[in-house]
């Protein structure tokens, strides 16, 4: 096999593995007592029938002091969702129920807890500008990241 053939073979191999790559349908995040998520970017596919959000709070502080959730929205909607959530208050988990600009949200949890939820991939548009964040008052300044949506 000469060099050109080898490159051609590698190229075909790459194309095949890309075409057959399973879409990512899970967003797994950890939130800490240092008010941080463990990831700055997550990637999911809009073709997923169902996308799971799995959140683990790795800290020890109670939900009233260091609550974390995962809200997904268009980046442009993050500030208004966080503001409305703050007004909704602790009993509402700092999420305004029925807010149409929220794509998905988990419940608010404290240290040592975990939670998960599911939503349809069809609620996302491939290539759109989306953010994940925690809506606990003040947390979205640090606890946020990019949601990359593939086809």
Place of tokens 């096999």: 1
What the block records as the tokens of 90 is: 């602790």
CA distance 116 to 83: 23
Place of tokens 């999911």: 44
Strand order in the sheet with 51-57: 26-31, 51-57, 114-119
94 binds Co ion (CB under 5 A): no
Among 44, 82, 102, 134, which residue sits at the site for Co ion (rule: CB under 5 A)?
Answer: 134
Among 48, 68, 85, 103, which residue sits at the site for Co ion (rule: CB under 5 A)?
Answer: 68
Q: Which is nearer to Co ion, 45 or 94 (CB)?
A: 94
Q: Of the listed pieces 10-18, 21-29, 77-85, 135-143, which binds Co ion according to CB under 5 A? A: 135-143
Q: How far is the CB of 82 from Co ion (least distance, A)?
A: 11
């Amino acid at each position: 096999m000469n060099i050109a053939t080898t490159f051609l073979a590698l190229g075909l191999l790459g194309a095949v593995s890309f075409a057959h790559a399973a879409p990512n349908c899970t967003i797994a995040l950890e939130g800490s007592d240092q008010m941080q998520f463990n990831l700055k970017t997550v990637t999911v596919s809009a073709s997923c029938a169902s996308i799971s959000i799995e959140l683990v709070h790795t800290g020890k502080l109670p939900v009233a002091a260091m609550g974390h959730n995962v809200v997904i929205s268009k980046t442009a909607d993050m500030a208004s969702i966080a503001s409305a959530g703050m007004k909704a208050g602790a009993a509402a988990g700092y999420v305004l129920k029925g807010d149409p600009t929220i794509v998905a949200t988990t419940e608010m949890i404290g240290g040592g807890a975990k939670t998960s939820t599911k939503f349809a991939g069809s609620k996302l548009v491939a290539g759109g500008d989306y953010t994940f964040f925690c809506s606990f008052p003040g947390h979205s300044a640090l606890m946020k990241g990019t949601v990359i949506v593939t086809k």
